[in-house]
A and B are shown apart, each in its own frame.
Chain A
Amino acid sequence: MKKTLRELRPVRVVGIGLHKYQHLSDTTYVTLGLTAVRAALDDAGIEWPAVESAYTGTALIGMAASRPMLRHLGATGIAMAQVENASASGSTAFRQACLEVASGISDVALAIGVDKPAMVNGAPGKTRIRDLVGARVAPFTHFALLANEYMNRYGVSTEQVAQVAVKNNRNGANNPFAQRQRAVTLEEVMAGPAISGTLTRLQCCPVGEGAAAVIVASDDAIEKLKINRARAIRTTASVSRSERVYRGAKNSDAELTRETVAQAYEEAGVGPKDLDLIELHDAFTIEELLYVEAMGLCGEGEGAAMIGGGTTDIGGRCAISASGGLLAMGHPIGPTGAGQIVEITRQLRGEAGARQQPNAKIGLAHMVGVGAVCVVHILRKDA
């Protein structure tokens, strides 16, 4: 009979590390990745030879990224593979590491996300199925179209959508690893430049370079390696889904998130009211409104009022994008999903400093990727 993650042996995040998200530079992906992994090893208080398996979430670097990077920690001969799942690559690398430890195949596994911006010809453009718009509809226009439809349906203003960027940049200003670390006013967000529809530059995430590393371990390994158990955070749900055909639905992006998150709630045994923080795929401001509704934090069309009312600020009922999210921390693609786990772990440990969500116990990480796919994890303190 099949089992959920929570029914397997516990898997806990024991080490986290980042390389700052930043504009494209001369830094090699090797340096980016090693910086994050070494930080995660230090955080866990373990040595590299204790790691038995590594999954590298990356979409843009190219074939065979893992060993040319990880051999510089000592070529221990462990299993390594790349995981590509578009924007959800880092999330999927984390899922694979969790499944491997929960199943009992490994005691300690690494998920690392690393990428550098590059023009890559994605597979969806190679199907030879042509449509009427082609490359004229970039992701920002896909979401500009959803924004216009949403504002019209619910009577929401462009300023109410734009305020998401104000909140997330305010959070990002307190994150030393964020690509955008400056609080912005609503006037600045609205001033443009306009990109597509009502979306302005600051309502679109920056895509730069960076790395995020997460080490997960079994209770056996925590004991054997003398890892501080009080700082270990359990993964209580891991769900990965792909888009179905939602006939008659208003919005397939929201539907995919709705069903993926619903399954994660069920597996973790929690609901939206139990969440203390969420890191979600806010590549564009409108997405945060669509997804908080799809996650059941509020009713349809109520997202803008909820976010404007401070409910999702740090210190509110459920902090959303405390890291700054994709809008401020940035979206270097491969690292992004792993970086969400880093932030949630830091928050649940109570180590998030100026952007600490008080008494955070349960956090949810959500990424979507072109194709489309959705990957959701729930982490819990003291579980």
Chain B
Amino acid sequence: MDDATTISTAVKIAFAAVNALVWTGLFLYLVRLHRKLRRLEASGSREREEAP
């Protein structure tokens, strides 16, 4: 493996790592949002059941 290939592969790994990190951040945010929505929906349906 020559120097150029080594640098190129290293750059590709760095790009992949940054992309994967951004994707993981977005994913975890969506999971959190999903849980929050579930809580809000549950509290909303409880309020409607308790309403006279």
Physical interaction between A and B: no
Q: Which residues of A contact B (CB under 8 A)?
A: none
Q: Which residues of B contact A (CB under 8 A)?
A: none
